[in-house]
Amino acid sequence: MDLPDYNPQQPLVYNPGRYREDLLSLEGPSTSPELKTEPDGRPESEESCPICGDKVSGYHYGLLTCESCKGFFKRSVQNNKLYTCVEHQKCPMNLSQRKRCPFCRFQKCLAVGMKREAVRADRMRGGRNKFGPLYRRDRQMKQQKVFHHPLNAPYWMKMESTQTQRPTAPHDPHLMRNNPTAPLSFDALHHSHVHPPAVGHPGAPVPLDCNLNADRGLAPLSLPYSGLYHRSFPGYLQEKGEMPYGYSSATTNYQISDNSFTARSTPASSPCSTPSSSTRTPDAPSSAPLKPNFLDHLLEGEQDEGQLCAKVLASLQREQANRGKHDRLNTFSIMCKMADQTLFGLVEWARNSALFKELKIEVMTIVSQAGVTLSSLVSRTQDLVSKLKAFQLDRHEFVCLKHLVLFNPDVKSVQSRAQVEQTQERVNRALMEHTQQSHPRHSDKFGQLLLRLPEVRSISLQVEEYLYQRHLLGDLPCNSLLTEMLHTKHS
DNA sequence: TCCTCAGGGCCAGAG
DNA sequence: CTCTGGCCCTGAGGA
């Protein structure tokens, strides 16, 4: 089965209605050029620059690229170059044509994951940058991919590297921020890049290898919590001036921003960096009168769910396309990778949650439930999603539910249980007031929403249990945050 | 202390 | 003149 509309040289046209099919199609061989192999068995793709196909000379600004693209990227960022494309921003990019359109070349640099932040503002020579862990992990994963087929790799081997190397860099918080001050940062989860679904410039070409149709109103359905809330604020991002990942589709020019990346190291969406966070009173979260902007305060740390889904999809598509003919991920492996990357997103979200930062947690442990099957999980999850979709959640309700799931006083080893309960109560109150105000005719909405939470928790526990069983069988396809979490929780 | 390697600078060549 | 890209230097961090 071919990967729909995918060609490494052409942006992939994303059709939300085919999201599920896209994921399924990831299993089959892609239509991307067959990956040749070196005499020693290493995929040649490891030796070719993802931008132009030239020979790579090492890791540069976030990923393996050739010397030429390294220099081009460096000059572009250092000199704040402003390029324009005389064509349709879809110029082919290869060894012979890479010089023709610097606009498209720079686009592709960003799209494949080169990081402007890695170009040093102070121009200091030498040394190592903050992406060291990224390079190490990437290298490790590449090695593992080559020498150990994921599904054949022994369990202990996976655990060994899982425990020695935390998967950090590809999900660097800096790469996941919604940063309105960064006009041109495509950095995203694991080199994946998406068009902001709410930006609303239908005609604007998207310089990415995983494009979203501009009319994509609802998030894809394939992720557990996506598409649950109704977009009550179609222009939300625009109104707030937020352009996630810095992409401005309103212009065909790239304005390379200043190199003040150090000032942007704290995610702008982080409540700690916003004035409103100063109104927070960690000491008495429940006794403090509810600020009218409490819900907005919660929303400040929110990622767009559609973006998260699209990032995961783009990443998977890229990885699948880069795999050898006989090395393609099967459905379960794809699901595990989805879960892993979604987990990263959730962890990042939780870490950025001002409320969660107040917590002191030793180790997250869970209670196991046994005897689950994948089909029953899918069925239960689909039921839950259907119920939640029927509620047409708005962003405020959705973020409240997320916080209520996160702040679970039943989780062991939470040191300040009282604080968790207080926070839960506070969010509860905010949710109740919001539903009463925004849905006065639907007075029962608050209660109905709360009734869904036990099921959410129950399903999540079953999913964990199921994955752990597969994990013990050595089925989990890769070293990941997911396997690490499962191991930690069961150890 | 040495080695590795990624970012920066230099400069000849191309257009 | 600007841009490109290959080569070399630098120096933080790891062994």
Q: Would you list the domain boundaries of chain A? A: 48-120, 294-490
Nearest to A370 by CA among A467, A266, A263, A292: A467
- Which pLDDT does position A76 carry in this prediction? 93
- A374 annotated to a ligand binding site: yes
- Which pLDDT does position A426 carry in this prediction? 84
Mean of the pLDDT values across residues A320-344?
A: 65
- A466 annotated to a ligand binding site: yes
State the CATH architecture for A294-490: Orthogonal Bundle (1.10)
Q: What is the CA radius of gyration of chain A?
A: 23
Footprint of strand B on the protein (CB under 7 A): A 58-62, 70-71, 74, 78, 118-120, 123-129, 131-132, 135
- CA dihedral of A51, A55, A59, A62, whole degrees rounded to 10: 0
The nucleotide lying nearest A98 (C-alpha to C1') is C4
Predicted TM-score of the model (pTM):
0.37
Cβ of A54 near strand C (distance < 7 A): yes
- Which pLDDT does position A338 carry in this prediction? 73
Most confident of A316-320, A347-351, A440-444: A440-444
Please list, in sequence order, all residues whose beta carbon lies within 8 angstroms of the beta carbon of residue A208, skipping any fewer than 6 positions away: A11, A12, A111, A186, A193, A194, A195, A314
- A468 annotated to a ligand binding site: no
Per-residue model confidence as pLDDT tens digits over A171-218? 332 223 333 233 333 333 333 332 322 222 322 332 323 232 322 222
Cβ of A75 near strand C (distance < 7 A): yes
Please list, in sequence order, all residues whose beta carbon lies within 8 angstroms of the beta carbon of residue A89, skipping any fewer than 6 positions away: A103, A104, A107, A205, A207, A252
Q: Is the pLDDT confidence value at A87 over 70?
A: yes
Q: Is the pLDDT confidence value at A399 over 50?
A: yes
- A162 annotated to a ligand binding site: no
Question: How many angstroms is C1' of C15 away from CA of A142?
Answer: 22
Nearest to A420 by CA among A431, A433, A404: A404
**Domain A48-120 shares a fold with domain A294-490:** no
Percent above pLDDT 90 for chain A: 5
The nucleotide lying nearest A67 (C-alpha to C1') is C5
Q: Is the pLDDT confidence value at A487 over 80?
A: no
Q: Is the pLDDT confidence value at A67 over 80?
A: yes
Listed as ranges, the nucleotides of chain B within 7 A of a protein C-beta are 5-10
Total residue length of chain A: 491
Burial grade of A128 (CB within 10 A; 0-12, 13-18, 19 or more): exposed
- Which pLDDT does position A372 carry in this prediction? 54
CATH topology of domain A48-120: Erythroid Transcription Factor GATA-1; Chain A (3.30.50)
Question: How many angstroms is C1' of C9 away from CA of A125?
Answer: 9
Burial grade of A225 (CB within 10 A; 0-12, 13-18, 19 or more): buried
If you average pLDDT over every residue of chain A, what do you get? 58
The nucleotide lying nearest A68 (C-alpha to C1') is C5
